[in-house]
Chain A
Amino acid sequence: MTNELQTPEKLAPEKLTKKDVRTAWVRFYFAQEIAHSFDKYLAPALTWALTPVLKKLYKDPKDQAEAYQRHLLFFNTQLSWGGGTITGIMASLEEARAQEVYKQEDITIDDDLIYNTKSGLMGALAGIGDAIDSGTIQYILIAIALPWAQAGNAIGALFPFIAFSLYQLGIGNYFAQLGYKLGRTAAGEIVGDKMKGIIEGLSIMGLFMMGILASSYVKVSSSLKFNLSGKEFVIQDILDKIMPGLLPLAVVAGVYLFFTRKGMNVTKALIGLTIILGVLAGIGIL
């Protein structure tokens, strides 16, 4: 029996195209949190997203099974920045690995490298992605649409939903393609200096819009009034003379200070503020 060095032609990995990467991204976008679980988080979604790619790369069922299992380890990141980029990078790493497997070379793109790339990036990219997408862009879109909703118009609901979904699909595809093209080096590109400026700008704009929202929508006023020798004093009128909008600002500041002291515990803040406001309203101060 001769030592078979050459793997049969039919097991050769196919070349991945732009379309393959886009398909993988769209599949991840769809599957994202469907199989959300305690131990794997989004890993099943990423595995399912990559299956068409892995099928093209590994023609031997044994290699395919290994590849699927490789991606079923804990994975959690943000949808478009993290999910998009990592889907692209994984496709590119697996393509390089499939070549090595086919040519029976030493595997340099080993399981550890693939997992470490993934786990190294998922946190950093999630941080950026959450702050920009969920924390800023989504709420700027909602802030723009809120007056329409308050006027009873359905556009107020439709506009932020459609605009944000399209934005995430688009930017995710951009990051997936970028991730595929640059492979392992993609992360540096995204976390780089130019991004810093954009993140700064978005943060400022986000805070600015929150200031506008706070002024328009936090409604706290004093209903306290009393009579002093026949003259009626309305506390809110006096407060407005000192500084309009003082009470709402005080409430926002109070919650913010609570977060800076005790960490961001939204549940506690909700319950605490409900009790405080309820009591003050009950005894007639607010």
Chain B
Amino acid sequence: MMHVTVFQALAIALWIAAIMSRSFFGGATTTLRFTPMMTGLVVGIVFGQVADAMITVAAIQLIYMGVFSPGGQMPSEPAIAAAVAVPVALLGGLKPEAAIAIAVPVGLLGSYLYQFRFFINTIIQQKYTEKYAAAADTKGMFRSIILMPIIVAFLLYVPFMFVTLYYGTPVIADIVKSNSGGIIFHILEVIGGGLAAIGIAVTVYVIGKKSYIAFFMLAYFMATMLKSLGITMVTYAVVGAIIAFIYVLVTTEARSKTATATSDAGGSGVTFDEDDDDY
């Protein structure tokens, strides 16, 4: 049976706790929490398989495209999902698409733990921060706003992630491996390949403006038709930027023209109104 070493499980658990405490480079941890790629890299380094880990996490990243937290709501925890799914994939020799099917339920479970951290933080802020603020005690405020929440997050996430990784991951990997080549694998891969649609649909939905979907379609068919040319993402980004620039340029011009046109129409409109009054 394959296994995860104590060091490997602990290292990944500490990394996740650092992210979920939101203390690792502060605001930058938002990126770490919502986009799993750095977590995949850390797992790869810990397991000594950076390349395989990156390939797997790239597939996981796709389903979480566009998933961020407007107003703090978060349906899933991509970092936690990657921290479990990537080791499973590495141990079980899974295809990236199959790893996705494991990542999704784990990510959903992870979001409950975040709610629990929220709850404890609320108690700390009520009980301590308010008291320290009233006493103008800045050292106390540092303790209750920075130190205590970080410690709480580590106490919550390190044991949880350690147990999951050390005991759970090999079991999942074993089950998955003993079924390799079967129908279960086919199902996992189909699910994984299709779920990438979620992240993309979320982004299209969030960006909004229905008429702009034309630009999505343009890009989709362009990339489908030109697939054999192997055009890079950077090139596509440049093309996208130019198209966006031209569109904004044209609409701004058109807007300023309509603005003058309306003021003309407004002028003549006055005479029409006067005519109307004659009746």
Contacts and interface: CB of A to CB of B under 8 A. Distances in A.
A245 B118 contact: no
**Chain B, interface size: which category?**
35 or more
Contacts of B72: 36, 41, 76
A7 interface: no
A59 to B, nearest CB: 11
B241 A205 contact: yes
Interface stretch (A94-102, A110-118, A144-152): A144-152
B254 interface: no
Interface string A135-146: 110111011111
Contacts of B163: none
B7 interface: no
A268 B209 CA distance: 23
A256 B201 CA distance: 5
A65 B135 CA distance: 6
A51 B138 contact: yes
Do most interface residues of chain B lie in helix, strand or loop, or is the interface mixed?
helix
Nearest to A244: B224
Nearest to B28: A165
A55 B67 CA distance: 39
A51 B140 CA distance: 12
B26 A32 contact: yes
A252 B247 contact: no
Interface string B194-217: 111110111111111100110111
A219 B97 contact: yes
B121 interface: yes
Interface of B: 21-23, 25-32, 34-35, 37-38, 40-41, 44, 50-52, 54-55, 57-59, 61-63, 65-72, 75-76, 97, 101, 104, 108, 117-119, 121-122, 124-126, 129-130, 133-136, 138, 141-142, 144-146, 149-150, 183, 186-187, 189-191, 193-198, 200-209, 212-213, 215-225, 227, 232-234, 236-237, 239-241, 243-245, 247-248, 251-252
11 contacts: A44-B145, A79-B30, A134-B34, A157-B54, A161-B32, A172-B27, A212-B236, A216-B223, A270-B108, A278-B190, A278-B191
Interface of A: 29-41, 44-45, 47-48, 51, 55, 61-62, 64-65, 68-69, 72, 76, 79-80, 83, 126-127, 130-131, 134-136, 138-140, 142-154, 156-158, 160-161, 164-165, 168-169, 172, 197, 200-220, 223, 244-245, 248-249, 251-252, 254-256, 258-260, 264-267, 269-270, 273-274, 277-278, 280-282, 286
